[in-house]
Amino acid sequence: MWTTLSGDGRIGTFYVRTGEEKLSQLNIFSGEDDGYVSYIPVLTNSNSKKNISPGERGTLAYLRYMIYEARFIESGDVIIIDAESALCTEIVQQYLSAHQIYPFILPSALHQLLNPCDNSFHSIFKHRYYKIISSINESVGVKEKLNLARQCFHDISKETVAKMFQRCGLISTDQTKRSVVTGLMCEGMTCLHKHNQYHKVCLLSFLQWCKRNNLCDTLCPFRFNISDIL
């Protein structure tokens, strides 16, 4: 599945890439303009007997669809992508350049913080999808699963998507750059309120262990009072 979001809150087509020809022949999204299954066959180089860059071919097929069919990506756009090799090949870069689309490649170690898709969208989408799937008692086929996934994909509102860009610092807000970066770097260091007491117990146990083993200077080089945690 490919995900493309726009800073104005729009969500691209629910696009599924598959190497199974039978799946592409099911016409799963027939009549829908927000769902598409792309069949990318495996091509083999007759000389080396190796697959010919399936990821690269899949990327080119996706870009062609988003430019010519969905018209979601247009000339003059900046497309923010992570450092996955298939997205950064010379052929892909040339294709983008020929269409006057400018790639901005996120550092490989930071895309989970700076990319709105990885930062928020995928987790919200998967949470919605698996919550519904877990509530269904009967067997669900591939066609039904993909239609359900498409529904969950487009259920995320434009307002929510726009806030994802703001959260990653890609759209200006009333926050300073320092506060935005601090918030991103500190994600995961705090817990939900309902887990707050359990978190305190775990933290206290760790600090007491550090103190008993004279490891405070090494593992926790900050001054603190136990009473501040309790």
Q: Which CATH class is domain 14-185?
A: alpha beta
pLDDT at 49 over 60: no
- Token pair for 169: 């610092």
Residue 14 β-bridge partners: 35
Decide if pLDDT at 47 tops 70.
no
Task: Return contacts of 43-48, CB within 8 angstroms, 24+ apart.
Answer: none
pTM: 0.75
Q: Sign of torsion, CA 186 187 188 194?
A: positive
Q: What was the pLDDT predicted at 46?
A: 59
Measure the CA–CA gap between 54 and 56, rounded to whole angstroms.
5
Question: Mean pLDDT, to the nearest integer, of 49-73?
Answer: 86
pLDDT score of 157 more than 60: yes
Q: What is the mean pLDDT of the chain?
A: 85
pLDDT at 15 over 70: yes
Which string of DSSP letters, residue by residue, matches 57-101? Answer: HHHHHHHHIIIIIS--S-TT-EEEE---GGGSSHHHHHHHHHTT-
Length of the chain: 230
Compute the distance between CA of residue 72 and CA of residue 66 in angstroms, rounded to an integer.
Answer: 5
Checking if the pLDDT of 154 tops 90, the result is: yes
Question: Band of the pLDDT at 12, cuts 50, 70, 90?
Answer: very high
Domain layout of the chain by residue ranges: 14-185, 193-229
